[in-house]
Structure formats: C-alpha cells, structure tokens
Structure 1
Amino acid sequence: MKINQTTSSRPGDASDGAVRSVASAPAQTPAPTPDTTGVRVSPLAAQVREIGSRLVEDSDDDIDTAKVDEIRQAISEGRIKIDPSKIADGLLASLRELNGSA
C-alpha cells in the first residue's frame, strides 16, 4: 500500500488542483452577525427560569423532613421491613398505568 505524500488531512495544505481551485476562489462575504447588544427573553423562557428558581429555593414545604427522619430511623432500627417484591410490583403497576395497559 502506497501512501500519497502530497495529500494532507488539513484543507489548504494539500497540493492537488482541487484544493487550489477552491482556495483561489473569490471569498464570499460572511453572513451578517446578529445584534448581541440586547437580549430578548420569550415569555416561556422567563416562566421556565422562574420555575427553576423556585425549585432551587430551600423553603420547600412539600417534604416533611421530620417524617423522613422518623422513617429513616425506623428503617435503621429494623422496625420497618422493606419488601423488594412489593416495591417491584408497585413499580410494574405504575408502568402499566403509564402505558395505559391493564
């Protein structure tokens, strides 16, 4: 197998005629760049940003941290037994419900 030493992997470095004809073609004017001095945010983007900032806030009252700590303590003490088959059955039932099959 012979490797052609005149061909380069970088455009413009090769010495074949095809590259020279492209390189010698007149330069096209670049597309105008968009005005970046002002940023406009769509109403949907503003709403997404507002929802995201609410999710980050620490004042989330949806979770009862005292109850979570109580359950965590009961699990660590062995007062609550975890049954993996019940968890699996519940997950499968949820998936069936989401798929719409019974």
Structure 2
Amino acid sequence: MAKPMTKTQLVAALAEEMGSDKKSAGAALDAVVNVITREVSNGGAVPLPGVGKIYCRERPERMVRNPATGEQMHKAADRQVKMTFAKALKDSVNG
C-alpha cells in the first residue's frame, strides 16, 4: 500500500495541475476545506464532482457497550460526518 500524500505534496500537485505557484494552490485548498467544514457543520452536504459527497448524519441516542467491561451505558444523540464516493471514482480504483 502506498504512503498517504501529505498536505505539502498535495499543494505541490495542485500547483502543478493548475499551472500556478504553491502559495495560490495552498490558498485554494484552504478555501475549499473551509467551505466544506462550514457547510457540513451547519448540517449541509457538499458534493465534490467525480469524488463523492460529504455530509453530516444525525445519530439518535442509544445504548452502547463498553468492550473492556461489558457494561451497558447510555450514549447521547450526536452527529457524524459521512462521505459517499462517486461511482466513477470507485470504477477508476477497481478497473
């Protein structure tokens, strides 16, 4: 398995793909991350064409079990960030 790309490597790849400098590519990446964070934290969804959709899912309160002790405990309702992947991305990975 290949090592994950670092943010520095991602910024460099974006700069090369955009034909721009690393500073503007880094600013563009930060802007995209800020938009996604703001929208998802407000309960919205953000589609990334060709990649998938990032959204927030509400989870109801429930009973959970502590795996170490086996004790049942109550867990309050919370929200979870989810992502569904586009079929084109799945096909490119598997084909």
| TM-score normalised by length of structure 2 | 0.27
More strand by share: 2
Q: Which has the larger radius of gyration?
A: 1
More helix by share: 1
The structure showing larger relative contact order (alpha-carbon pairs under 8 Å, at least 6 residues apart) is 2
| TM-score normalised by length of structure 1 | 0.26
